[in-house]
């Protein structure tokens, strides 16, 4: 994948009027156009069986890449040795071609969703190697020229960065990774070949292990083109080192991509959590934009009605940019605003710090400092937080503050919306409390 620069950027820039976030009217443009104008693709995982009606329309209109959520996995395509079933995968590839979308093939060699004949077989190293490379060759050949990126090997590492003892790792050691990539390259020399994993999004033991693995593979001449970062994230926990992490991999001479982004929260979703999620989605998008070799970003399902999170993380959900009724959430606007022409890449532009200045029986005075941590001036700001113990705002200064239930939203006044890079603005308020006065549980700035 190379960066595509089109005239769209200039057209969009001309059409936009500066507003609160500097870019609010970009929210109306299809995400795929915004992404294209910034030289990245914007993808989504899809479920083939749902590709009709409004689900299909949104997937086609907003995204320029699709990843089959399950349909290309080993257990789906080769449930019985040598017997392939392509119906589900074909459907998605056909859909992509009908809508001018790229395809991320996911995934060829993975320890999960394997057919039991592979997972529970008794293998000599040679037999397993042959079975694996046959599988890779057959699947990649089938879609030769039609799949742009392949997640060749998925989740090869343990949390500490060592090789996972999957059936492949345990039987073949690290050599299986190299063999899978070689088979894929031979079957489709034009496809971009990726290794993909989770919890490698920021710098840490696991991403250090991935970094070392990719370095070794490159040193051995293994045909690897890119590293995928799944980015199954938790609300408020976008790693601060994400951009630096992507960059260090790119500096090895490979592409990088965000491949399975979702940002989960404890249910129920509230206005404050959704606002925080918006800032988190924007931060991840900006991290990709900041790294020239970041080829694109894929969300793992674009609607909450098609997300794996509630099934795998009980009590959590609302992790995607569209709600269950296919209405856009603030997260979608976060992506759009980060992609809008003129939005500087890099870390999100603001942080908020909350303090209680003084407190008395039943009342307190609070203060919030908004700091511009970005590289461009803020042209308006909004701080959201959530009170855990029934506190209620009575009166505010230097901001307009509104409260709905536990959720508080503060926006700038005309005279303090512009904050230079590195600068800060403070506003205050009086509020009531009863019983206890703990700090906000969620606090975000955007």
By the 10 Å C-beta count (0-12 exposed, 13-18 middle, 19+ buried), 54 is classed as exposed
Supply the minimum distance, in Å, between the C-beta of residue 24 and ligand XIL: 32
**Identity of the residue, 188 or 260, whose beta carbon is nearer to ligand XIL in the bound complex:** 260
**Rounded distance, CA 142 to CA 76, Å?**
15
Binder of ligand XIL out of 69, 105, 202, 341 (CB under 6 A): 69
- Catalytic, out of 71, 102, 260, 337: 260
Asked if residue 230 binds ligand XIL (CB under 6 A), the reply is yes
Does residue 183 contact residue 137 with C-beta atoms inside 8 Å? Answer: yes
Residue length of the chain: 446
Instruction: Name every residue whose Cβ is closer than 8 Å to that of residue 297 and which is 6 or more positions away in sequence.
Output: 35, 40, 41, 42, 43, 257, 258, 261, 284, 285, 288
Asked if residue 298 binds ligand XIL (CB under 6 A), the reply is no
Site residues for ligand XIL, 72-111, by CB under 6 A, read none
**Rounded distance, CA 135 to CA 146, Å?**
17
Positive/negative CA dihedral, 248, 249, 255, 256: negative
Cα–chain center distance at 395: 38
**Rounded distance, CA 425 to CA 64, Å?**
39
Supply the minimum distance, in Å, between the C-beta of residue 114 and ligand XIL: 12
Region class of 334: left (phi > 0), else alpha (psi between -120 and 50), else beta: alpha
**Identity of the residue, 70 or 138, whose beta carbon is nearer to ligand XIL in the bound complex:** 70
**Identity of the residue, 229 or 308, whose beta carbon is nearer to ligand XIL in the bound complex:** 308
The single residue listed with the structure tokens 């017997």 is 83
Question: How many other β-carbons are positioned within 10 Å of the β-carbon of residue 198?
Answer: 18
Binder of ligand XIL out of 176, 308, 381, 427 (CB under 6 A): 308
**Rounded distance, CA 362 to CA 435, Å?**
9
**Identity of the residue, 154 or 391, whose beta carbon is nearer to ligand XIL in the bound complex:** 154
**Identity of the residue, 172 or 231, whose beta carbon is nearer to ligand XIL in the bound complex:** 231
Asked if residue 70 binds ligand XIL (CB under 6 A), the reply is yes
Q: Is 71 part of the annotated catalytic residue set?
A: no
Supply the minimum distance, in Å, between the C-beta of residue 293 and ligand XIL: 21
**Identity of the residue, 168 or 308, whose beta carbon is nearer to ligand XIL in the bound complex:** 308
Q: Is 155 part of the annotated catalytic residue set?
A: yes
Supply the minimum distance, in Å, between the C-beta of residue 260 and ligand XIL: 6
Element (H, E) at 89: helix 87-98
Binder of ligand XIL out of 78, 102, 260, 304 (CB under 6 A): 260
**Rounded distance, CA 33 to CA 4, Å?**
11
Binder of ligand XIL out of 154, 207, 298, 351 (CB under 6 A): 154
Binding to ligand XIL by CB under 6 A, coded x per residue (else -) over 108-147, reads: ----------------------------------------
Instruction: Name every residue whose Cβ is closer than 8 Å to that of residue 434 and which is 6 or more positions away in sequence.
Output: 362, 389, 390
**Rounded distance, CA 343 to CA 57, Å?**
28
- Helix 271-290 / helix 242-250 crossing angle, nearest 10 deg: 20
Token pair in block for residue 373: 């941590």
Closest-CB residue for ligand XIL?
A: 308
Question: How many other β-carbons are positioned within 10 Å of the β-carbon of residue 242?
Answer: 25
Asked if residue 156 binds ligand XIL (CB under 6 A), the reply is no
Number of residues that bind ligand XIL (CB under 6 A): 6
- Catalytic, out of 78, 139, 155, 337: 155
**Identity of the residue, 154 or 171, whose beta carbon is nearer to ligand XIL in the bound complex:** 154
Supply the minimum distance, in Å, between the C-beta of residue 428 and ligand XIL: 44
Question: How many other β-carbons are positioned within 10 Å of the β-carbon of residue 165?
Answer: 12
**Identity of the residue, 68 or 440, whose beta carbon is nearer to ligand XIL in the bound complex:** 68
Asked if residue 317 binds ligand XIL (CB under 6 A), the reply is no
Supply the minimum distance, in Å, between the C-beta of residue 142 and ligand XIL: 19
Instruction: Name every residue whose Cβ is closer than 8 Å to that of residue 403 and which is 6 or more positions away in sequence.
Output: 392, 393, 409
Supply the minimum distance, in Å, between the C-beta of residue 301 and ligand XIL: 7
Supply the minimum distance, in Å, between the C-beta of residue 308 and ligand XIL: 4
**Rounded distance, CA 71 to CA 74, Å?**
9
Footprint on this chain of ligand XIL (rule: CB under 6 A): 69-70, 154, 230, 260, 308
Q: Which residues are catalytic?
A: 155, 260
């Amino acid at each position: 994948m190379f960066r595509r620069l089109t005239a769209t950027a200039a057209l969009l820039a001309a059409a936009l009027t500066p507003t609160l976030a500097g870019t609010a009217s970009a929210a109306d443009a299809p995400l795929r156009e915004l992404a294209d104008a910034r030289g990245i693709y914007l993808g989504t995982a899809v479920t083939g069986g749902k590709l009709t009606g409004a689900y299909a329309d949104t997937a086609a209109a907003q995204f320029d890449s699709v990843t089959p959520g399950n349909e290309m996995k080993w257990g789906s395509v080769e449930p019985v040795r040598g017997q392939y079933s392509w119906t589900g995968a074909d459907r998605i590839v056909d859909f992509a071609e009908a809508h001018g979308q790229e395809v991320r093939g996911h995934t060829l060699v993975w320890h999960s969703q394997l057919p039991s004949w592979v997972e529970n077989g008794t293998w000599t190293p040679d037999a397993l190697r042959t079975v694996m490379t046959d599988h890779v060759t057959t699947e990649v050949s089938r879609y030769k020229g039609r799949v742009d990126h392949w997640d060749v090997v998925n989740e090869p590492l343990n949390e500490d960065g060592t090789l996972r003892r999957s059936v492949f790792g345990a039987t073949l050691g690290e050599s299986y990774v190299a063999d899978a990539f070689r088979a894929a390259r031979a079957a489709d020399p034009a496809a971009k070949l990726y290794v993909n994993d989770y919890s490698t999004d920021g710098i840490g033991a696991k991403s250090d292990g991935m970094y070392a693995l990719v370095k070794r593979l490159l040193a051995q001449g293994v045909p690897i083109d890119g590293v995928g970062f799944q980015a199954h994230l938790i609300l408020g926990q976008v790693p601060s080192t994400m951009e630096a992490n992507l960059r260090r991999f790119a500096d090895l001479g490979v592409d990088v991509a965000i491949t399975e982004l979702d940002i989960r929260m404890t249910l129920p979703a509230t206005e404050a959590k959704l606002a925080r999620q918006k800032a988190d989605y924007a931060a991840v998008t900006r991290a990709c934009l900041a790294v020239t070799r970041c080829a694109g970003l894929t969300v793992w399902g674009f609607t909450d009605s098609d997300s794996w999170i509630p099934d795998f993380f009980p009590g959590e959900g609302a992790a995607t940019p569209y709600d269950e009724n296919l209405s856009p959430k603030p997260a979608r606007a976060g992506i759009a605003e980060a992609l809008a022409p003129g939005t500087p890449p890099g870390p999100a532009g603001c942080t908020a710090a909350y303090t209680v200045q003084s407190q008395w029986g039943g009342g307190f005075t609070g203060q919030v400092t908004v700091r511009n941590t970005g590289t461009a001036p803020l042209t308006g700001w909004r701080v959201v937080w959530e009170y855990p113990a029934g506190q209620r705002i009575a009166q505010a200064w230097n901001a307009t503050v509104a409260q709905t239930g536990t959720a508080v939203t503060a926006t700038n006044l005309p005279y303090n919306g512009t904050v230079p890079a590195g600068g800060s603005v403070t506003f205050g308020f009086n509020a009531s409390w009863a019983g206890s006065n703990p700090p906000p549980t969620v606090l975000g700035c955007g």
